[in-house]
Copies of this chain bind each other. A is one copy, B any other.
Amino acid sequence: MTSQNLSGDSSTKILQTASRLFYEQGYHVTGINQVIAEAGVAKASFYHHFSSKEELCIAYLHKRHEDWFSWLQQEVEQNENDQERLLSLFTFLERWLPNSNFRGCAFLNIASEFPSPDSKIRLLVVDHKNALQDYIRQLVDRLNISPKKKNTAMLADLIYLLFEGAITKSQIYQSTGSIEAAREAVRQLIN
């Protein structure tokens, strides 16, 4: 109850505030001054917990990865039928995107702000997208629709492209308009 209660902990408050600001505003436009002001801590306290702004961003991405995947898995695992589990990827988008004010994927947004593909932050983006593609492949593999392994990998890849495209379009148009069509296209592809 003392050190376990992190809700009032400075480190946690800083990370929560930074996560909100980085996601809603972007990385470079969000200054350390704004983070510490809205977190209600002093500047030196921030630099006691985090060595730099970039380290704070890395912590943000780590936590974001955990949170986002738990949201996704929670939606998928509500379904028992393997086909419905796969299709629920898009149902997840229909819930998540409006709920996040159509700000889109935190990792793609950050990648736009870090052009160097070798940067530590860009490698985290790759890790996140690798995990997403692995997850989609697992869902596709459980369908057992095709005897050829090669086809299921390609099918999973197409579904991933539709998934990313749906996120992007919804971000630009602030709408979930195309997601239903994407889900029905996947339904036809696997039947």
Residues of A within 8 A of B (CB): 24-26, 28-29, 102-104, 108-109, 111-113, 115, 117, 125-126, 129, 154, 157-158, 160-166, 168-169, 171-174, 178, 181-182, 185
Q: A172's contact among B26, B108, B166, by CB below 8 Å, is which?
A: B108
A164 proximity list for chain B (CB < 8 A): 164-165, 168-169
Given contacts A112-B26, A117-B102, whether A182 and B158 have CB atoms under 8 Å apart is yes
Kindly provide the distance from the CB of A54 to the nearest chain B CB, expressed in whole angstroms: 13
Name the CB-closest residue of B to A182: B161
Chain B CB within 10 Å, residue with most, of A117, A160, A163, A164: A164
Q: Are B171 and A111 in contact (CB under 8 A)?
A: yes
Q: Are A29 and B26 in contact (CB under 8 A)?
A: no
11 A-B pairs with CB atoms under 8 Å apart are A26-B28, A28-B29, A28-B113, A104-B112, A112-B113, A126-B172, A126-B173, A161-B169, A164-B164, A164-B168, A165-B165
Q: How far is the CA of A102 from the CA of B125 in the complex (A)?
A: 15
Q: How far is the CA of A158 from the CA of B165 in the complex (A)?
A: 9
A103 proximity list for chain B (CB < 8 A): 115
A161 proximity list for chain B (CB < 8 A): 161-162, 165-166, 169, 178, 182
